[in-house]
Structures are given as C-alpha cells and as structure tokens.
Amino acid sequence: MNRVRIVALAAVTLGAVVTAGTKFQQAQQDQGSEAAAELNRASVVPVDGERNTPPAGQQRADATGGSVPSLIGDTYTATPPVTASDTAPQDSMTDDSVRIARADEAVAPGATPGTGRSDTPLTEALNAQHDTRPAEQPSPAMQAPEAAPLDPELEAELAACAVWLVVTPSAGAMLETSVYAPCDGGAHVILSHSGLSFDATLGEDGQYLAQIPALTEEASVSIAFQDGRVEHDRTEVPDLADVERVVLQWDQPAELQLNAYEFGARYGSAGHVHAGAPRTAGVSDQGFVTVLGDPQIPGGQLAQVYSYPRGETPQTGTVTLEIEVPVTDASCGQSITARTIEVHGTRSAQIRNMQLDMPDCDGAGGFVVLPGVLPDLQIAQTDQQSN
C-alpha cells in the first residue's frame, strides 16, 4: 500500500496561482469550468512521486458560469469535506501512516470555521501559511559586567600613590611635618593648623618637609590637594607652655614682614630678628622666625611666625613687634588684609584681622611701618613670674 498524504487546499491554491495566466487563456476557449474544478479539488499526492487516482465518491465543486473565478478575491470558496470511498479498504483509514485533512478543519487563515469564507485576502493568507521565518526573540536584558579583581601590580601601584602625612613634635614647640605623595610631584597644596594656613609646592618626588609652629597642645595638621583630597595627622606638644608666639598671615601679591626687636635691639642689630635673619628653632635664650608658604604661587597664602622660648632664657625684658609693608607695584593703591594670631603659653589664642590701605602708586617706593599693631611680649625667666 502506498503511503499518501492529502495536501491542504491552500497548498493546491498556491500552485494554481502560478498557472493563473495559462488558465485565463483556457477560459477564453470555454474551458474555465474545468480549471475551476481542478482548483477546488483536494490533491492526493503520493510520497514516492506516483500520482494516484482520486478515490471514488470524492465530491467535486461545479463551476458556475463560463468565466474563471477570481483567485485573489474575498469571495474565495473553500473545498467541501473530503470523504473516504465506501469501496476503499477499511484498514487504510486506520493506518497511522495516512493523515486525512478534513476540509472543515483546514480553514484558511482569517476564515470563520464552518462558513468557508475568509476575511483575509488570499495572498496574505498564503504568505502567512508559508512564512517559515523564525519568530523574532526579544533581546536579553543587558547585565552590567562584574567588576574584575585588580591586577596585583596595579593594586600595588595604587597603594603606592597614597598620601602620607606624618606630624611629630620637635624642640621649641614645633611640629615637624613630613609629606610624601609620590604620584603628586610638584602639586600645590594647603597646609593648615589651628587657624594658620599657607600654600606650598611639593617636590618633584612628591615630598615636602616643614617646621610648623604649634598653636595648641593637641595639635592637628591637615594637607589639602586641589582635587579635594585631604589628609590629617595629629600629635601632642608638651613644651607649648614655655613659648611666646605671634603669627602674621596674608595673601599674595602683598609682601609683609614681621620684625622682632629683642630687649632693646635696633633695626639691623644682632637682636633684630626677621625673615632675613630668622635664627634656628630650639636654641635657648633667643627667639626665631619661621617663614611659611611659597611666594611663587599666585594668590597663595604666606605666613611668618615669631617664637621666643621664655621658659629657657635667663633674660627678662621686652620684645617689640612691628609689621613692615614695602610699597611695590603690586601693593600700591591696594587694600591689604592680614591676620595675626597670638599664643601665650597654653592660654587661648587671640586672633585679629587687620586691613591696611597702601599709598598711591607715585613711584616713590619705600615702606609702610605699623608699630604698635601688635602688643609687646613681656619675657620673664619663668612662666609663673610672667603671669
């Protein structure tokens, strides 16, 4: 027994569409009824390529009229149900190798079951039935990649770019400040301690060393970078009680100078202590000046600090303090602001803000001297006697 399969009506119709032009010519020769009958028949095609005679009793649709019905119109008529012949072998109907497609089950796409009419044009129905393209699948949601672990060499390099700030106490109630920032060579930074601030430039290797006069016993120093990074360190200053200290602080481009005249000294004498003759910190029986800040930084903060270790001197007397401002092209006709901080041992610091209107720019040069702005320091042999 040959294995056969009954092809659905739409497949036969597809072949009929291809030969529509030829059938139209045949219709001109009064053979349209035969073309319509062949169109509406269900075709039984053997798998092995042999063509079998349609079984007896198969119903055929009669063509009406002498013209060929439209193959694409909305009035397409479905094939009547295909029934098995009474004379066909019974076992052929129960063989699993044969699949019979009933016309009332093979409804064209868009047609209403039982009516045989389609609301969809034939060409669209054929395209929909024979469209074998795979359905588009939605793209999977993008997921953020997991962070890969840092390479050990890169991690070590990042660790090497850390900033180290170390502050330790030193003689004369000073704060020995060490900065190491290997990835910030030549950077401009701001160092601050208890109201005292100044701008500085790190070395090309990222190092910077400074002696900062302590203003509090519990001393904290910070360093701030231009990108917002800030580091802190703190230490204790055990000998602050033995020191008299005055700070003069201002902004560029002004040039100020703090002069200290110890025990009746005159300008330019041995007892005249200033930035040009600062002396060394930690030496008994003499005061010293500390210069802070980088004058090459435009608009940077600068400071000068005079300190006298009163608990270590056998002398008793007065130290006169004086502020001197040179008249230059950058300062003439300008209003200069400055700040002073006075520290007397462990007592609270006294802060003063001052403003100075400089002379007009007449090219004469010279200096503006401000005596009496800062009070004299009374130096005694011991702290108990001076208080």
Structure tokens that stand for 359 in this block:
């002379």
State residue 219's pLDDT score. Answer: 97
Whether 222 has a pLDDT exceeding 70, the answer reads yes
Among left, alpha and beta (phi > 0; psi -120 to 50; other), residue 25 is alpha
pLDDT band at 229 (very low <50, low <70, confident <90, very high): very high
The DSSP string of 129-156 is HH--PPPPPPPPPP-PPPPPPPPHHHHH
Q: What is the mean pLDDT of the chain?
A: 73
Query: Average of pLDDT values for 218-242?
Result: 96
State residue 285's pLDDT score. Answer: 82
Q: What does residue 129 show for φ and ψ, rounded to 5 degrees? A: -75, -35
State residue 362's pLDDT score. Answer: 85
The total number of residues written for the chain in this structure: 387
Closest residue by Cα to residue 89 from 2, 204, 180, 193: 2
Query: Average of pLDDT values for 160-179?
Result: 95
State residue 346's pLDDT score. Answer: 82
State residue 88's pLDDT score. Answer: 43
Query: Average of pLDDT values for 297-319?
Result: 89
Distance CA 132, CA 199 (A): 76
65 burial (CB, 10 Å; 0-12 / 13-18 / 19+) is exposed
> Higher-confidence residue: 168 or 363?
168
Q: pTM score, two decimals?
A: 0.60
Q: In what order do the strands lie in the sheet with 218-225?
A: 196-201, 188-193, 218-225, 230-236
State residue 47's pLDDT score. Answer: 43
Distance CA 230, CA 40 (A): 90
Structure tokens that stand for 203 in this block:
């070395």
Q: Is residue 309 a contact partner of residue 284, using CB atoms and an 8 Å limit?
A: yes
Q: Is residue 233 a contact partner of residue 164, using CB atoms and an 8 Å limit?
A: no
pLDDT band at 66 (very low <50, low <70, confident <90, very high): very low
pLDDT band at 139 (very low <50, low <70, confident <90, very high): low
pLDDT band at 146 (very low <50, low <70, confident <90, very high): low
Whether 12 has a pLDDT exceeding 90, the answer reads no
Span of 15-19, 113-117, 276-280 with lowest mean pLDDT = 15-19
Q: Per-residue pLDDT tens for 312-359? A: 677 889 999 999 999 998 889 999 999 999 999 888 889 999 999 999
**Other beta carbons less than 10 A from residue 222's beta carbon:** 17
State residue 284's pLDDT score. Answer: 79
Span of 7-11, 120-124, 256-260, 273-277 with lowest mean pLDDT = 7-11
Query: Average of pLDDT values for 44-52?
Result: 44
pLDDT band at 160 (very low <50, low <70, confident <90, very high): confident
Report helix, strand or coil for 21: helix
Distance CA 217, CA 237 (A): 5
Distance CA 366, CA 327 (A): 6
Q: Is residue 8 a contact partner of residue 40, using CB atoms and an 8 Å limit?
A: no
State residue 138's pLDDT score. Answer: 53
State residue 149's pLDDT score. Answer: 73
